[in-house]
Structure 1
Amino acid sequence: MMLGRRPLLLTAAALAAPATVSAQTAAWPSRPVRVIVPYAAAGGTDLLSRAIAEALRPVFPQPFVVENRAGAAGVVGSEVVARAEPDGYTLLVVVSTHVMNRYHLPSLPYDPIRDFTPIAMLSRNTMVLVSGTNQPFDSLRGMIEHAKRNPGRVGTGSTEALSSFIGQELARRAGVEMPDVAYRSGGQLMNDIVAGHLPTGWTSTVSAAPHMQTGKVRILAVSTAERTAAFPDAPTTQEQGIANFDLSGWVAMLAPPRMDPALAARITETMQRVFDDAAFRQRLVGMGVERDFRPGPALLEAMQRDDRIWAAAAQAGHIRPQQ
């Protein structure tokens, strides 16, 4: 999806660092900044990262270059950042399964919290259950009944640990067997939904939004307790009989570990000004992004809270490491 090129009301002066900060911080960025997205192109995280990079283009003389390093549920690209110099020239944009992966994958080459510097939470990641209009059901209840009549034959697509967990948790609560079908990105998942190759799938509002005008996709449910502003007509899972179903994630920016706090604050402030800009906020609405900007300390709290939640779910046997 090509994004509009309307310049944002941001100025380099507004983003200038205070005179008291270190020379390294004041000079940042003096060369191109790599923004690692550890997922395939055309997914929701990739689209948001590219929108941020475009928004910063008129602000700094140096570009922010989005680099897709997909593989191993985000581990390949995340490891690059965990081992990078904390100089502000390598950043990471991940979804909340960055934390969940320690319980979903057999092993990680880094600690998802300790080995990164939290910069900012960027958005809420409400998941939506999508299906093609050519499928023999048009509601969540209809999908469940169809899956009961066809046990094990109605696959549900996912792109990472959270969407996989949501799909399998729904199936568990509904008492049906729906095999998980793994995809490398939301873009690939949506292409198969549109083509009719995949019966259903859980993906982000951002991945779903570009396809809603085709007339070939419908949203059966949203994963949260409240409806999403991105698709206000789409009912929640709870509204359709699955009690206490409320699951969502987030998209966040991280940096390598041991970053100078002043430099981390400088990057956080830069992102804050982007996300506070009225033109950019309107762009997010059009993309289906639910803005939820929180600075580094609040992001760290959210990551630690998620870690406790997923640890409890793993202990209860609701998350099992891949073999």
Structure 2
Amino acid sequence: MIGRRTALALPALLPGLAAAQVAWPQRPVRLIVPYAAGGGTDILARALGEALRPHLPFPIVVENRAGAAGVIGSEVVARSEPDGHTLMAVVSTHVMNRHVLSSLPYDPIRDFAPIAMLTRNTMVLAASNALPFTDLPSLAAFARAQPTRLSTGSTEALSSFIGQELARRLGAEIPDVQYRAGSQLMTDIVAGNLPMGWTSTASATPHMSSGRVRILAVSTATRTPFFPEVKTAQEQGIPDFDLAGWVALLGPARLPGTLAGVIHGHVERAFADQAFQARLTALGIEPDLRPPAACLEAMQREDRLWAAASAAGTLPKQ
């Protein structure tokens, strides 16, 4: 009887045994960031690579391949070998791009393997301190009185959608100005070249010490711990305004599930480290670690959301 129970238990142990036998990495790992250096995703990717380095035999090498709203770098990963040595840190507009761009050289879900959801990206409306308003009601009054004075910066489809949706809800015309990275957008706000823009907490945080920037609102239904004094758009009279992004770690399609699990395990170990947690807090990054299946579920859910928004004609076309 004991022998039979042992035999029955073996199949359940096999996935774990197989995972333990996967040696990863066997050479340096390329972590593609399909956006310009200095933005929130780039900051997170480099912090994660540094946190993983002591536990891996080879380094994580972050490579920025910016352009075409993330398409250029994403295509590199889609065409790479599914051996775990070319990965990608990508924001939620990776999925949204299907519905705002005229064409894509890949399917944003089918042609990639989810490894981990890494963070939640609460978007914040950063504005120059030189502007004569400090909240959304006064912004709306200013925009309606002087419609040619304001524009709002964005870095990808999600922040562009948030900016234009807020303008619509405020009853104001506020043109969208597109940037390649949150760091560039914030630099222009600090310099006075851009009135305001939607960006991640990670992009905004390094510039707050300049004294030239204020945060007017956050995009989610709850306040962000990084700017707890800033009211949400809902608290400022915009009902049901709740939009956020995320950063996910993906590999190419056909990446074996066992290997994805091994990589996720290393990421999970990094996220459990107190020093790494403290660094994320200092950088203004909200951790939201989820395994491959939950990551895929989130991507599929958002794909349905943006498909419905596209059908309703409320998504920006690029």
* TM-score with structure 1 setting the length: 0.92
Cα root mean square deviation, aligned: 1.3
Deviation at 1:22, TM superposition (A): 6.9
SS in 1 for 2:115: strand
Q: CA deviation at 1:282?
A: 1.2
- Opposite residue 21 of structure 1, the aligned amino acid is A
Q: How does 1:287-302 map to 2 (within 5 A)?
A: 287-302=283-298
Residue in 2 that maps onto 1:195: 191
For the 8 Å contact 2:19–2:262, the answer to whether it is kept is no
Partners of 2:293 and 2:225 in 1: CA distance: 27
In the alignment, which residue of structure 2 is the partner of 1:82? 78
- SS of residue matched to 2:137: helix
For residues 37-56 of structure 1, what are the structure 2 equivalents within 5 Å?
37-56=33-52
Q: Which piece of structure 1 moves more, 150-159 or 179-188?
A: 150-159
Which residues in structure 2 correspond to 1:79-158 (within 5 Å)? Answer: 79-158=75-154
**1:123-179: CA deviation from partner (whole Å, max 9, x where unpaired):** 001000000111122222221111111224311000001000000000111111010
Q: Secondary structure at the match of 1:125?
A: strand
* 2:300 partner letter: Q
Is the CA contact (8 Å cut-off) linking 1:147 and 1:177 kept in structure 2? yes
Q: Identify the match of residue 248 of structure 1 among 244, 248, 259.
A: 244
Question: Counterparts of 1:22 and 1:121 in 2: how far apart (Å)?
Answer: 20
For 1:290 and 1:48, the matched residues in 2 are separated by 10
Matched pairs, number = 304
Amino acid at match of 1:277: D
Contact 1:153 1:179 in 2 (8 A): no
- Dislocated runs of 4+, deviation >6 Å: none
In the TM superposition, residue 19 of structure 1 has moved relative to its aligned partner by: 8.0
Equivalent residue of 2:54, what SS? coil
What is the aligned partner in structure 1 of residue 7 from structure 2?
A: none
Which string of whole-angstrom CA distances, capped at 9 and with x for unpartnered residues, describes residues 277-303 of structure 1? 111111111111111000000000000
**Structure 2 gap ranges (5+):** 1-14
Task: Say which one has the larger Rg.
Answer: 2
Supply the distance in 2 between the matched residues of 1:122 and 1:217 (Cα, whole angstroms).
27
Q: CA deviation at 1:21?
A: 2.2
Quick one: which of 273, 279, 282 aligns to 1:286?
282
Measure, in 2, the Cα distance between the counterparts of 1:32 and 1:19.
Answer: 25
- Match of 1:235? 231
Candidates 259, 262, 265, aligned match of 1:263: 259
- Aligned partner letter, 2:18: V
Which structure has more helix as a fraction of its residues? 2
SS at match of 2:235: helix
Note if 1:168 corresponds to 2:146. no
For 1:196 and 1:142, the matched residues in 2 are separated by: 19
Q: Classify the secondary structure of the residue corresponding to 1:41.
A: coil
> In 2, distance between residues paired with 1:106 and 1:266?
36
What corresponds to 1:314 in structure 2?
310
Distance 1:148 1:299 in 2: 41
Is the Cα–Cα contact under 8 Å of residues 52 and 267 in structure 2 kept in the other structure? no
TM-score normalised by structure 2 residue count: 0.93
Whichever residue aligns with residue 100 of structure 2, its letter is: H
Corresponding position: 1:21 with 2:18:
yes
Aligned partners of 1:163 and 1:112: how far apart in 2? 19
